[in-house]
Structure 1
Amino acid sequence: MSLDIGNTSFTEFDSYLDNMTKSCPFLKPALDYNSVINKRFQLNDKNYKKIEENIFWISLQATEEFRNVRRALTGQKKTLFNVNLIFIYDEGIKGNVLDWPHYILKLLYSKVGVVYGKFHNGALKTNRHGLLMPSPPFTHLAIRSAIKSKDARFFNKTPDLVDDILTSKDEREDVLAPFGVSISDINPFSNKIRNELYQELYNWAKESL
């Protein structure tokens, strides 16, 4: 089970984003254009795999909402539009819960020009200059449009997706169609069907490695 707390702004995360502008050249203009939306979700499950699966479905739905909003934007607003999905869950859940949802989403959405950043609570990473980035106060997934001239370098671990990014174009295609379902059918799906479809997507992603 999950609870959508909705659009949110709170001091700790806002301060983190401000500090991240030093490491992410995309972020400062996005903030200056008021093009950043933060959404917070409370995940009440106690099971690691359920948390992972819920993160995937929340992120897939948010990506579809992102695509819909993006179509109505123009110019810099369209390029800079950015959504952060912040996930709050039991502190006893250990591990990188974003890893598989993030990878599956990359496989599904790179061809329509959507890219993702994954940030686990407390993780320490370096930026492109080798400098330490601010440690995220919350686990979150960032969604934005691909910047073709810059983003290919982020796909060094998944080089097969570089061509998808460089040739990406959003023509409203249904990314789940190859799996015999439609995005529009997801919300009414029973938990059992969601579980089975997530497992199918997980196996598909695993085979691509």
Structure 2
Amino acid sequence: MIRPRITATTDPAAVHPGLAEHQNDMIRRCPYLRPSVDRGLTVWSAYDAETGDQPELFALLVESAEGLRAARRESGPLACRNIAILGPEDSDSARKLLQWPAWLARNLYAPVQLMVGRFWTGVELVDSKGQAMMPPPVAFFSLRNAIPSKDGLFLAEKLPDIMAILEQGPGDDGRDVFTEPLGQPVDDPASVYTELKALFPPPSLATTR
């Protein structure tokens, strides 16, 4: 069962002392993050979770995504939500814990142009210029408005289907994201976790960011 540590803060250091430096490293690479942080629109939360909590993590992502949809209607496209996941003791455990919930949420929310990313301790990433990025001190999900021109730098190669949906999507038209794949709205996202895994098989869990 996942357990909340921090439900909302604009100070990443309140989640982990190393997250402020990591966020600053990301700010230097992303032109959209600095104005989001400066306006208090990048919000962090933190939860304890462990292997077996994936359905609950997926439900948490859905709750956060819906909150972000409401926030960007009010505040604009700079609204961002980051969810730190505390508990995994090594990089591989963290990667496996986050991969399916992130993949399912990514598929559900791409049509409304919301991007769902996952990062874990020890992950080695490079930016659009090929420069090494600072590994995060904790695993976390990142939810933000999709920027097809920016996201295409890695999605077009790794996840072309998701990239196509982001590019062609009508924007956030207020739809219930479960209605099209499942035929009806869903009150409890965790209850349809296994069903959605069958509907959205990933191209490769080993390479899906």
With the length of structure 1 as denominator, give the TM-score of the two structures: 0.83
Code of the residue aligned with 1:171 in structure 2: it is: D
CA contact (8 A) 1:152 1:166 kept: no
Given candidates 150, 167, 182, the residue that maps to 2:185 is: 182
Distance 1:137 1:100 in 2: 21
Residue 37 of structure 1: which of 29, 32, 43 is its match?
A: 43
TM-aligned CA deviation for residue 151 of structure 1? 2.3
Equivalent-residue separation in structure 2 for 1:61 and 1:83 (angstroms): 11
Shift of 1:85: 0.7
Question: Is 2:199 the counterpart of 1:204?
Answer: yes
CA deviation after TM superposition for structure 1 residue 60, in Å: 1.2
| Distance (whole Å) between structure 2 residues aligned to residue 113 and residue 207 of structure 1 | 19
Q: Which residue in the other structure is 1:2 paired with? A: 2
Identity level (%): 25
Cα distance, 1:208 vs structure 2: 6.7
What are the ranges of 5 or more consecutive residues in structure 2 without an aligned counterpart? 205-209
Partner of 2:74: 72
Which segments of 5 or more consecutive residues in structure 1 lack a partner in the other structure? Answer: 188-193
Alpha-carbon distance between aligned partners in 1 of 2:54 and 2:127, rounded to the nearest angstrom:
26
Query: What is the CA RMSD across the aligned residues, in angstroms?
Result: 2.1
Q: Could you tell me how far apart the structure 1 residues matched to 2:202 and 2:22 are?
A: 36
Q: Which residue of 1 aligns with 2:165?
A: 164
Structural mapping, 1:1-209, within 5 Å: 1-4=1-4, 5-8=6-9, 9=11, 10=14, 11-43=17-49, 45=50, 48=51, 50-73=52-75, 78-91=76-89, 94-96=93-95, 97-155=97-155, 156-168=157-169, 169-177=171-179, 178-183=181-186, 185-186=187-188, 194-195=190-191, 197-206=192-201
- Once the two structures are TM-superposed, the CA of residue 171 in structure 1 deviates from its matched residue by 1.2
Distance 1:95 1:136 in 2: 12
* 1:80 partner letter: L
Counterpart CA distance in 2 for 1:135 and 1:207 is 24
Segment drifting more, 83-92 vs 106-115: 83-92
8 Å contact from structure 1 (residues 2, 41) kept in 2: yes
**Structure 1 pair 140/90, CA: closer, same or farther in 2 (3 Å)?**
closer
In structure 1, what is the Cα distance between the partners aligned to 2:109 and 2:168?
12
Number of residue pairs matched?
193
Supply the distance in 2 between the matched residues of 1:21 and 1:138 (Cα, whole angstroms): 17
**Deviation for aligned residue 1:99:** 1.7
Does the 8 Å CA contact 2:128/2:153 hold for their aligned counterparts? no
Deviation track 1:27-82 (CA, whole Å, cap 9, x = no partner) reads: 22221222210011122x4xx2x232222111111101111121122xxxx12111
Shift of the 207–16 alpha-carbon distance from structure 1 to 2, 3 Å rule, reads closer
